[in-house]
Structures are given as structure tokens and as C-alpha cells.
Structure 1
Amino acid sequence: MFEQLVPVNKARHATKKIKQIEGFGFASQFHIASVMVHEFARASAIYPVVFLEDKEKDEFRPVVLMGLDAGENLFVSTTGKWEASYVPAIIRRYPFALASTDQEGQFTVCIDEASDLISDAEGVALFDEKGEPSEAIENVKRYLGELQQMEAFTREFCKYFAEHNLFTPLNMRVQQADQAKNITGCYVVNEERLNNLSNERFLEMREKRYLPAVYAHLVSLGQIERLMMLKDERLTPAANQS
């Protein structure tokens, strides 16, 4: 998603302004987006929520599928409109992000300098006339800080499920435009293992407030059919024009 992420500082960005997101053309080629556990309930009504394995970091992370093929986002129209009622937080926070510093537990606000939302003439200033962070930056810091806390909870959630061997590879065969397509490369919670948990382990998950997210994830898998329908709708006009 980010092409040129750099820390925000007044020496480099004193005259820069940030425009309000009015379209999502920048996300038109994102077929997945990271989400946090706190987003599962709303996201599951629209997108399949699955997990990807990061072998280098030896961890799992949840994402929503927004397309069946790399480079396609079935929820962004040709005019850049997001055609769903919920936009993942990672996309709403664009072009900002938090990055770790050399000090443990410390983060700095970064911005994607390649974004079209950055301007010298339009938008809200990042710094005031005195060179101090503007209210816009303070709001971004607050928002990113809240997301950081949610991300920490999400990492613990995924670590717990990985440690208890509750993830299993998704291998689903679907029919799309008269062709069979395999949905692979991601993981889901294994329902059989979940149902066979001891009462003690199940109660532990309830105490950790993991259960609502688990059920939202499992229900969301039915949204893969929605992706198939959206894909077919896009293919049909193209076929009629050919």
C-alpha cells in the first residue's frame, strides 16, 4: 500500500498539506487489506476475513479479501467510489502510518510521500506558521495511537490461536464464470478443533474476549460467494463489449 513512507517532520513537511480522501482510486489494486479483531464484526458482513502467515516473523495476521485475484479490488468502482458500507481502518488512515523507533514501545507518525493526497496548495496544513504540528497531525496521532492498541490486541489474538493449533489452511473450490477456481494461500479457524476444546480453554477464550471475533470470522467465509458475484458482474459487461 505504501510506496514512500517517511517520518513526518517540520524540516521536510513544513509547507505540506493533506487533502481529504474523496475517492479510493489509490486502493483499486488492493485485493487484501489488514484488519484488526475490533473490525471483524462489521467487516464480516461484507468481506471474507481470513488469516495470512508471515513465515519470516513466525506469526499470523488477519486480512479481508477484496478480490479473487491479485491487483483487483472489487469494492472500488471505476470512479474511485468505495461500494460497501465499511472501509477497513488501514485504508481509512492512508496516507499515514505508525513506525517503530529505536526505543522500545515508541512509535513515530509517517506519511507516504508518493500519495496524491499530499499537496503544496490544497488541503489542511501539517504544521502551523510557528512550525508546530497542526491540529490535523494531533488528530492523526490520536487515531493511530488507538489503532496501535487494537493491533497489539490482534497480535495477541493470532498468537493465541497459533499456539493452540487452531488455524488450518483454507482450500476452497468455487465456480466462477463457468470455470473452477481454487481459493488457497490463507488460513481459517478450524471449527472441529474449536468445538473440541476443553471447557477450561473455551472459558479462557471467553475471558479474553476472543469468541465474538472467532464467530464473526467463521460467518464471514460465506462472503466469498459475494466476491464471486461481484467478479462475474464485472466480467459480464466486458464480455458483452467484446
Structure 2
Amino acid sequence: MFKQPEALNVERHASLGLADQPNYSHAAEEILTPVFSGEAWQVAREYTLVFPNEVGLPLAILGYQQGVNAYLGNNGSWWGRYVPAHIRRYPFIAAPQQTDSGQQQFTVMIDISAPQLLEDAGQPLFEEGQPSKLLKEVQRVLANLQTDTQRTQLLVKQIDEAGLLVKQNLHIKVKEGKDKGLQGFRVIDQAAFRQCDGEALAALNKTGALDLIQAHLCSLTNLQDGLLAKKAAGKLGQNGVLEGPATLDELFNEGDDDFTFDFDS
């Protein structure tokens, strides 16, 4: 997503501004995006949340066709109600640095190729050689994301060490064309989770790992009735609104659609 990252520098970028209107075309080919623990429940409302095969940030599924983000609308708009933080922070990202004293700091990086960055237009990044109000807010957001990144990685590590993650493939059965599949991630082993004793659950609850688990489990319902599934099945109305059942057959349908998302057994 970041094609030409470089460190933001007042000497070189004094005239840069950020476009007023958001545009998410930079995420057109993203079918997975990292998720931070602080946004897990917002993500879980409309995306499917999974875990990577190695310890790292959880992932939200944005598409089922390689290189096609199903949440991207016309002219760079976004179909979902909530845009994941990793998508929203573009064209900015933090590059961690360690000082001589051992303290963690970061450098603000920009994708210099981003169409959101304008010469002598938009909201300025610098004013009289100093960070503008906008850039200060960007720095604050990036600092919070850095902190949340470290916390989220620890939570995933705790869940992993508790033996609750299992590799899984996502199978997509389509009405017309060849069935598709996604792989390379893990989900909560619900049988193992149900066997957790009180001490194990208390440990997961104390750190917030239990909350992340619950958000993940809740998000799995989006495999059948979320925006991604409805859009792929042709049941998405104007402006990304999910259409309800149109007939009694659909109202009492038990999920036997021609188009389905499901995990391989």
C-alpha cells in the first residue's frame, strides 16, 4: 500500500498539504488489513476478524478475489460504516526508532506518491517551518497506534500461548464460476476455548485478550450476512446498505444460499 515511503522533512515537504476529501483508492488491492485491539469491536461489526499464522496483528478480511478490495466504492469511497485505522492513516505511517537512552520514538513517514498529498493546496502539514495543527494530530494518532500495535501483539501472543489458535482456510462457494479460498490465517479453536478453566479465563480477561477473542468470534457472523458476503451475492443496495429479505422464502431461509462463506472442515 505504501509505494514510495520517505521520512517527512520540513525542508523538502514544507509546501505539502493533505487533500480535504478522503480517498481510499490506495487500498484498492488490499484483501487483508491489520487491526488494532482498540478498534476490534468496531471492526467486528462488519468485517471478519482472523489471526495471522505468526504472532502479529489480527487481520480484517476485505475481499475474496486476489487484488480486489470489495469494500472500495466508486471514486475512492468506502462501502463500510467503519474504515480500519490502517487504511485511514494513509499516507502517514510511523517508523520506530530507538534513542541512545533506549527510549522508543518514531519518525513520521509519508508515501510521497499518494494523491492525497498536494503541492501548495489542501490542509498544510507545516506552517512557518513548524508542524501544523493537522500534522500534530497525525503525530498523536501515529503514537497511539504504535502503542496499540505493541499491546495487540502481546495479546495475540498470549492467545497463541494459551493454545487457542488453529490454522483454518476460508472456502467461498460462488453461484457462477470457480469456488475460491483464502488461507494463511488462524481462528479461535472454540472447543479448546470452552475447556479453559477459570484461572485461564481470568488471565485472558485481565490483559484484554478475552475481549479480542470475543470480538473475533462475534465477527464470524459476517461470513454469512456481512457487507462482503452480501455484496458478493448481489444483495447490496445503494450506498452500501444491506438489503433485507425480499420474500418469505428469503425470510425463513436457513442459510442454504448458492453463495456462502465457510471454513473448511
TM range (shorter): 0.7 to 0.9
d(CA) in 2 for partners of 1:118, 1:9: 14
Q: Determine if the alignment matches structure 1 residue 43 to structure 2 residue 43.
A: yes
Question: For residue 204 of structure 2, what is the aligned residue in structure 1?
Answer: 205
d(CA) in 1 for partners of 2:105, 2:75: 39
1:194-233 paired onto structure 2 within 5 Å: 194-225=193-224, 226=226, 227-233=228-234
- Contact 1:53–1:61 (CA under 8 A) maintained in structure 2: no
> What RMSD, in angstroms, separates the aligned Cα atoms of the two structures?
1.8
d(CA) in 1 for partners of 2:111, 2:183: 31
- After superposition, the Cα gap between the structure-2 partners of 1:153 and 1:21, relative to the gap in structure 1 and judged at 3 Å, is farther
d(CA) in 2 for partners of 1:2, 1:205: 34
- Contact 1:5–1:110 (CA under 8 A) maintained in structure 2: yes
1:65-214 paired onto structure 2 within 5 Å: 65-103=61-99, 104=102, 105-129=104-128, 131-178=129-176, 179-214=178-213
- Contact 1:49–1:220 (CA under 8 A) maintained in structure 2: yes
> What TM-score do you get using the length of structure 2 for normalisation?
0.81
- After superposition, the Cα gap between the structure-2 partners of 1:39 and 1:161, relative to the gap in structure 1 and judged at 3 Å, is same
- Contact 1:31–1:71 (CA under 8 A) maintained in structure 2: yes
Q: C-alpha deviations, 1:15-74, integer Å up to 9, x for none?
A: 2112134332222221111111121111111000011234xxxx2320100101221111
Letter in 1 for 2:88: R
Secondary structure of 2:181 counterpart: strand
- Contact 1:33–1:64 (CA under 8 A) maintained in structure 2: yes
- Contact 2:18–2:121 (CA under 8 A) maintained in structure 1: yes
Q: Determine if the alignment matches structure 1 residue 53 to structure 2 residue 49.
A: no
Q: Identity of counterpart residues, as a percentage?
A: 28
- Of 219-228 and 62-71, more deviation after overlay is shown by 219-228
Question: For residue 20 of structure 1, what is the aligned residue in structure 2?
Answer: 20
- Contact 1:68–1:228 (CA under 8 A) maintained in structure 2: no
Secondary structure of 2:173 counterpart: strand
Q: C-alpha deviations, 1:115-134, integer Å up to 9, x for none?
A: 001111311221112x1121
Cα drift, residue 102 of structure 1 = 4.4
Spell out structure 1 runs of 4+ moving beyond 6 A: none
- Contact 1:60–1:162 (CA under 8 A) maintained in structure 2: no
Question: For residue 240 of structure 1, what is the aligned residue in structure 2?
Answer: none
Which structure has more RCO (C-alpha within 8 Å, separation ≥ 6)? 1
- Contact 2:57–2:149 (CA under 8 A) maintained in structure 1: no
Cα drift, residue 99 of structure 1 = 0.5
Secondary structure of 1:51 counterpart: strand
d(CA) in 2 for partners of 1:16, 1:173: 45
- Of 62-71 and 162-171, more deviation after overlay is shown by 162-171
User: What are structure 2's unaligned runs of at least 5 residues?
Assistant: 236-265
Number of paired residues?
229
Question: For residue 7 of structure 1, what is the aligned residue in structure 2?
Answer: 7
Q: C-alpha deviations, 1:201-239, integer Å up to 9, x for none?
A: 1111111122222111012122123323312329xxxxx
Cα drift, residue 101 of structure 1 = 1.9
Secondary structure of 2:154 counterpart: helix
User: What are structure 1's unaligned runs of at least 5 residues?
Assistant: 235-242
> What TM-score do you get using the length of structure 1 for normalisation?
0.88
